[in-house]
């Protein structure tokens, strides 16, 4: 645990991506199984256990420290976990340390003006004229902490912490935590408290951690990414392969999630370099991106799963779709598509679909009123075959055949949009109803362009897929700060500052680009307000800092009328009439838009600038 | 009477100064020959009498020549600690507990969150980083008087025998340490060395220099800072430090409290830092205690003058 803590500590201070990689890879090289595997799990967010509440940590310290001293310390340090980690009393150390000191000779004397019980002159009489430097006279010998600890149990390993936390009952947690805190050093205690409170933010992405692991064996991070869904902590098979001790791990999960391929937002200037003949266009549906996977377990039983774009298992929220994924006669398949609500064959708007999202309980009434549907646009696997390396045009042909064979009303094919020139596609995008979308046009938010020869690659590879939204004045931004509203909204956090990504000195960071305080429904206001209260990281007067990390935070789709250059704003741009057009609970903050997108909008579309 | 050579304790312009030889030398180095009307050197353990009053200097373990000053009149002994630390330091005489009635203690790190571990472990951290990043230079910010020499000595104790580079502002004081018999190995000025040749090396510099354009002469530098303040993350982050090294020349919380108890003093005057917490602690132990609100004493790590000023010394 101490070594892992040291790694986290160093990563937190290191700004450079390559240097972070080096630190991580060095850690994986020097650390044994299974500790390094659990570390990889912690860094990729693959660990799951119930988090301890800050109140518990506070109780632990108030049982052991003077409340005044704790208060002064907390004020100074500003972070609960860190304060507790630093001031956690060292039971054995303080006992040992006081022993070499001369015993207190007084205390009853009141010093100046008072009568001391002893004469000071005799107490300090006749020390040697020059102090003897060889036997350390210091109260403490360097390295003392180490030797003092020899009677104590060794500090817990990361594996011990992780495996214990998984099974530990709530009532046993405080005592177990206290025991570990006694055994760990300052940095170890800090990392432990961050880990158990679920507040371990160290500024590295899961992708970076996987890349560092791949570097251990000079392997491609892409390979690790592909096999990742089938792996589980502590990743013994992965490390064995990386170190050349065994074959590449095979994915035994019958229904693995495949990392999704994402599109770049296209800009006007991009079209000049693109040939329409290289691309296939589809409607961009205003739904939820999902991956529907079906497979057979070891006993031959069909299993089906529905994943969100981030790989979260959302099968439980859509039981009505599951039977459609049980295709007899097929051993397995994986469809990439859009989750929509269809009523009488017509695609409903996102607002309607939203009634089905984030539901813990799915009632029969809900299922009946909001019938769920899958619109397929890609086939990633079919009967044991991994199709991802095939060109899109071939995958599309297989998808068409597959959907036909499936013959299920709940799953259909996302149609292509015919076009020969960019002008033709521009017209289709402007009026989807006339260009084939018909009555579903309201649920079309633009067009997707996919290269005919594009393999299915995880992440956002350059030049392969493009999204061309219908409304050019929409961006996905991340909620950064919230402030209470006025009047009847004064009890709600209803004024939001949002930001987009940019590369700064400390790597990727969010820069605020605007504020919005309307556009949301009352129900959405309640949801955001709840989110703000539960995810506040700091308070400054009426303003709350809301968590905004690559993997944690709330993405807001912001609509606006125009952009103008503004030297007054840190971002350099100002929005006209910004409002929240929808909440993207489905989108991780790292996928929000970038400042460059706004800057390009500003440059290329002077027409959208406010007069 | 001056406890030690740091600028918040040793100022020029006094009529007569009593201090250890090292402290007088350092004042001369920093302020020039006429830094005081007259000077008198006193050794550790040597006793002077002024009428009814006896004066004695004891090692404080803070920097070379640092002293606690015991003043005794009739039955009462007051000890002014100056700055002190109870942790071992290869560059100065170890701290000595002086029993007394009134103890005037510093409180730079007077909060229980400040517990400085083993300085040798911090130096190991630095050396591990040098091994991991051999193509980068390592810049260690350290106060020029005391901390820099201690870090160098600790590096030598850890077996690091390559030349260590120095910022110009610390050359004079470091050479003074060497002249007093403190072994520091081979030292070179960083000035004039080719950028590429600084890869894989360690350079000591005043803290303020590690964030200025002076660092551009180093290849992709790793910025370290050796200070007790590095215990608190926000402090390290504020300064843009990549490698915080918790090495302090002041006593930590445990050191302060253990020392206070060991002196046997019934009355404690607290100054120079975080007085409140330490005064509170003393009271919970039944000791009379009060803060001495003295102006002008601060932490040298935080308020170091820019290197240009120091270069005059
Ligand atoms: Zn000092
Ligand atoms: Zn001082």
Inter-chain touch B254–A94, beta carbons under 8 Å: yes
Q: Are residues B87 and B132 in the same domain?
A: no
pLDDT of residue A538 exceeding 60: yes
Range of the domain at B287: 14-113+249-305
Q: Are residues B136 and B230 in the same domain?
A: yes
pLDDT of residue A594 exceeding 70: yes
Asked if residue B149 lies in contact with residue B184, where contact means CB atoms within 8 angstroms, the answer is yes
pLDDT value, residue A115: 31
- Containing A504, the helix (H) or strand (E) segment is strand A493-504
Q: Nearest C-alpha of chain B: how many angstroms from A228? A: 28
User: Does B312 reside within a domain?
Assistant: no
pLDDT value, residue A36: 96
| Paired sense of beta strands B243-245 and B47-50, if any | unpaired
The pLDDT tens digits of the residues spanning A221-275 come to 878 887 887 789 999 999 999 999 999 887 677 888 888 999 998 887 888 899 9
**Percent of chain B beyond pLDDT 70?**
94
Kindly state the tokens that stand for A149. Answer: 């600890």
Distance CA B254, CA A142 (A): 14
pLDDT of residue A132 exceeding 80: no
User: In sequence order, what are the residues at sequence separation of 6 or more whose Cβ sits closer than 8 angstroms to the Cβ of residue B238?
Assistant: none
pLDDT value, residue B284: 96
Q: Are residues B45 and B95 in the same domain?
A: yes
Inter-chain touch A22–B72, beta carbons under 8 Å: no
pLDDT value, residue B295: 56
> What's the whole-number average pLDDT of chain A?
83
Q: Are residues B78 and B101 in the same domain?
A: yes
The pLDDT tens digits of the residues spanning B33-78 come to 999 999 999 999 999 999 999 999 999 999 999 999 999 999 999 9
User: Does B84 reside within a domain?
Assistant: yes
- Domain total for chain B? 2
Mean pLDDT of A135-162: 60
- Angle in degrees, CA A362, A365, A370, rounded to 5: 80
ipTM of the complex: 0.91
Mean pLDDT of A130-153: 43
Distance CA A106, CA B264 (A): 5
The pLDDT tens digits of the residues spanning B257-283 come to 999 999 999 999 999 888 999 999 999
User: In sequence order, what are the residues at sequence separation of 6 or more whose Cβ sits closer than 8 angstroms to the Cβ of residue A61?
Assistant: A70, A83, A84, A87, A88
Inter-chain touch B101–A111, beta carbons under 8 Å: yes
Distance CA A194, CA A80 (A): 10
Q: Are residues B137 and B32 in the same domain?
A: no
- Containing A494, the helix (H) or strand (E) segment is strand A493-504
pLDDT of residue B304 exceeding 70: no
| Residue to test with chain B: of A9, A82, A109, most B Cβ within 10 A | A109
Q: What is the three-class DSSP state of A376? A: strand
User: Does B8 reside within a domain?
Assistant: no
User: Does B53 reside within a domain?
Assistant: yes
pLDDT of residue A292 exceeding 70: yes
pLDDT value, residue A110: 31
Of A79, A101, A143, the CB nearest to B97: A101
> What's the whole-number average pLDDT of chain B?
91
- Angle in degrees, CA B45, B46, B47, rounded to 5: 115
Asked if residue B53 lies in contact with residue B43, where contact means CB atoms within 8 angstroms, the answer is no
Nearest-Cα residue of chain A relative to residue B58: A131
The pLDDT tens digits of the residues spanning A552-563 come to 999 999 988 667
Distance CA A402, CA A411 (A): 11
List, in order of start, the domains of chain A with CATH numbers. 264-469 (3.30.470.30), 473-606 (2.40.50.140)
pLDDT of residue A98 exceeding 50: no
**Active-site residue, A284 included:** yes
CATH number at B258 reads 3.60.15.10
pLDDT value, residue A27: 96
Q: What does A212-258 look like in DSSP terms, one character per residue?
A: HHHHHTT--HHHHHHHGGG--TT-HHHHHHHTTSSPPPP---SS---
Give A181's contacts in chain B (Cβ within 8 Å): none
Chain B residues 174-193 with CB within 8 Å of chain A:
none
Among residues B193, B225, B245, the one where a domain terminates is: B245
Q: Are residues B199 and B211 in the same domain?
A: yes
Q: Please indicate if any CB of chain A lies within 8 Å of the CB of B276.
A: yes
Among residues B229, B245, B261, the one where a domain terminates is: B245
- B21 vs A384, which has greater pLDDT? B21
Among residues B200, B220, B245, the one where a domain terminates is: B245
User: Does B212 reside within a domain?
Assistant: yes
pLDDT of residue A86 exceeding 90: yes
Q: Are residues B81 and B126 in the same domain?
A: no
The pLDDT tens digits of the residues spanning A437-458 come to 888 887 888 899 999 999 999 8
Q: Are residues B107 and B132 in the same domain?
A: no
- A272-281, A474-483, A596-605, B254-263: range with lowest mean pLDDT: A596-605
- CA neighbours within 13 Å on the CB side: how many for A599? 9
Give B233's contacts in chain A (Cβ within 8 Å): 12, 79, 82
CATH number at B226 reads 3.40.50.12650
**Its pTM surpasses 0.80:** no
Mean pLDDT of A382-395: 92
Q: Nearest C-alpha of chain B: how many angstroms from A102? A: 6
Mean pLDDT of A531-544: 85
Distance CA B71, CA B56 (A): 7
Residue A438 gets which letter from DSSP?
A: G
pLDDT value, residue A488: 67
pLDDT value, residue A143: 40
Q: Are residues B234 and B140 in the same domain?
A: yes
pLDDT of residue A179 exceeding 80: yes
pLDDT of residue A151 exceeding 80: no
The pLDDT tens digits of the residues spanning A503-517 come to 877 788 999 999 988
Q: What is the three-class DSSP state of B61? A: coil
pLDDT value, residue B6: 95
pLDDT value, residue A361: 83
Q: Are residues B296 and B204 in the same domain?
A: no
Distance CA A312, CA A290 (A): 10
pLDDT of residue A99 exceeding 50: no
Nearest to A38 by CA among A4, A84, A72: A4
- A61-75, A100-114, B174-188, B208-222: range with lowest mean pLDDT: A100-114
**Percent of chain A beyond pLDDT 90?**
47
User: Does B311 reside within a domain?
Assistant: no
- Set A20, A210, A284, A450: catalytic member: A284
Give A115's contacts in chain B (Cβ within 8 Å): 75
B78 alpha carbon to ligand 2 midpoint, in Å? 19
Q: Are residues B95 and B58 in the same domain?
A: yes
Q: Are residues B297 and B185 in the same domain?
A: no
pLDDT of residue A459 exceeding 60: yes
- How far are the Cα atoms of A153, A177, B160 from residue A173, in angstroms, in the given order? 19, 6, 44
Distance CA B179, CA B182 (A): 7
User: Does B83 reside within a domain?
Assistant: yes
User: Does B150 reside within a domain?
Assistant: yes
Mean pLDDT of A31-46: 93
């Amino acid at each position: 645990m101490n070594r892992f803590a040291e790694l986290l500590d160093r990563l937190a201070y290191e700004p450079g991506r390559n240097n972070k990689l080096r630190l991580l890879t060095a850690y994986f090289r020097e650390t044994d199984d299974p500790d390094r595997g659990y570390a990889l799990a912690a860094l990729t967010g693959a660990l799951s256990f119930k988090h301890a509440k800050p109140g518990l940590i506070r109780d632990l310290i108030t049982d052991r420290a003077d409340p005044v001293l704790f208060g002064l310390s907390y004020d100074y340090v500003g972070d609960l976990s860190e304060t507790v980690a630093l001031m956690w009393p060292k039971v054995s150390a303080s006992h040992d340390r006081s022993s070499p000191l001369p015993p207190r000779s007084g205390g009853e004397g009141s010093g100046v003006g008072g009568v001391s019980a002893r004469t000071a002159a005799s107490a300090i009489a006749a020390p040697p004229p020059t102090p003897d430097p060889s036997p350390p006279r210091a109260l403490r010998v360097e390295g003392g902490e180490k030797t003092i600890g020899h009677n104590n149990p060794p500090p817990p390993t990361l594996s011990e912490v992780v495996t214990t936390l998984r099974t530990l009952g709530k009532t046993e947690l405080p005592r177990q935590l206290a025991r570990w805190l006694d055994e760990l050093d300052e940095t170890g205690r800090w990392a432990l408290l961050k880990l158990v409170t679920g507040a371990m933010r160290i500024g590295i992405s899961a992708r970076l951690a996987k890349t560092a692991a791949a570097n251990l064996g000079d392997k491609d991070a892409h390979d690790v990414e592909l096999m990742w869904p089938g792996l589980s902590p502590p990743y013994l098979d992965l490390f064995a392969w990386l170190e050349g001790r065994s074959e590449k791990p095979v994915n035994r999960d019958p229904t693995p999630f495949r990392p999704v391929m994402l599109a770049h937002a296209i800009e006007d200037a991009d079209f000049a370099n693109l040939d329409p003949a290289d691309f296939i266009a589809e409607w961009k549906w205003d739904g939820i991106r999902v991956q529907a996977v079906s497979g057979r377990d070891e006993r031959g039983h069909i299993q089906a799963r529905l994943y969100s774009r981030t790989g979260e298992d959302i099968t439980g929220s859509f039981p009505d779709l599951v039977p459609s994924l049980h295709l007899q006669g097929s051993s397995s398949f994986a469809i990439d598509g859009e989750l929509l609500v269809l009523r009488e064959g017509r695609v409903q708007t996102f607002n309607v679909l939203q009634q089905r999202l984030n539901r813990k309980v799915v009632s029969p009434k809900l299922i009946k009123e909001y019938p769920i549907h899958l619109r397929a646009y890609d086939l990633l696997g079919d009967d044991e075959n991994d199709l991802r390396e095939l060109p899109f045009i071939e995958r599309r042909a297989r998808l068409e055949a597959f959907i036909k064979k499936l013959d299920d009303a709940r799953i259909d094919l996302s149609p292509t949009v015919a076009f020969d020139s960019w002008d033709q596609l521009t017209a289709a995008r402007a009026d989807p109803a006339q260009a084939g979308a018909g009555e579903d046009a309201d649920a079309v938010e633009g067009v997707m362009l996919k290269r005919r020869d594009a393999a299915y690659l995880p992440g956002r590879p350059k030049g392969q897929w493009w999204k061309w939204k219908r409304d050019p004045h929409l961006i996905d931004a991340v909620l950064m700060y919230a402030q209470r509203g006025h009047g009847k909204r004064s009890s709600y956090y209803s004024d939001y500052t949002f930001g987009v990504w940019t590369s700064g000195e400390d790597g990727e960071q969010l820069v605020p680009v605007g504020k919005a305080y309307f556009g949301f429904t009352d129900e959405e206001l309640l949801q955001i307000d709840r989110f703000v209260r539960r995810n506040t990281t700091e308070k400054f007067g009426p303003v709350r800092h809301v968590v905004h990390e690559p993997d944690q935070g709330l993405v807001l789709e912001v609509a606006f009328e125009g952009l103008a250059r503004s030297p007054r704003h840190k971002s350099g741009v100002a929005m006209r009439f910004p409002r929240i057009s929808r909440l993207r609970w489905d989108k991780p903050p790292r996928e929000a838009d970038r400042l460059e997108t706004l800057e390009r909008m500003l440059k290329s579309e002077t027409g959208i600038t406010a007069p | 009477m001056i406890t030690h050579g740091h600028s918040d304790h040793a100022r020029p312009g006094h009529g007569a100064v009593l201090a250890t030889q090292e402290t007088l030398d350092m004042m001369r180095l920093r302020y020039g020959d006429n830094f005081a009307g007259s000077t008198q050197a006193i050794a550790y353990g040597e006793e002077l009498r002024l009428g009814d009053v006896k004066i004695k200097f004891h090692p404080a373990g803070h920097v070379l020549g640092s002293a606690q000053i015991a003043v005794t009149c009739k039955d009462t002994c007051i000890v002014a600690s100056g700055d002190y630390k109870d942790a071992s330091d290869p560059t100065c005489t170890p701290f000595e507990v002086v029993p007394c009635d009134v103890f005037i203690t510093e409180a730079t790190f007077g909060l229980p969150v400040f517990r400085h571990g083993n300085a040798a472990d911090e130096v190991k951290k630095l050396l591990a980083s040098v091994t991991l990043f051999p193509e980068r230079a390592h810049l260690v910010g350290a106060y020029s008087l005391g901390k820099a020499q201690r870090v160098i000595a600790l590096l030598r104790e850890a077996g690091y025998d390559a030349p260590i580079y120095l910022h110009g502002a610390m050359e004079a004081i470091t050479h003074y340490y060497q002249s007093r018999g403190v072994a520091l190995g081979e030292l070179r000025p960083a000035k004039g060395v080719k950028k590429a040749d600084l890869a894989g090396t360690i350079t000591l510099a005043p803290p303020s220099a590690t964030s200025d354009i002076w660092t551009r002469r180093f290849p992709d530098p790793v910025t370290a800072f050796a200070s007790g303040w590095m215990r608190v993350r926000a402090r390290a982050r504020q300064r843009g430090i990549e490698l915080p090294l918790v090495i302090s020349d002041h006593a930590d919380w445990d050191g302060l409290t253990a020392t206070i108890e060991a002196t046997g003093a019934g009355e404690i005057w607290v100054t120079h830092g975080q007085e409140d917490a330490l005064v509170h602690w003393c009271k919970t132990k039944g000791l009379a205690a009060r803060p001495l609100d003295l102006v002008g004493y601060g932490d040298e790590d935080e308020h170091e003058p820019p290197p240009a000023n120091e270069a005059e010394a």
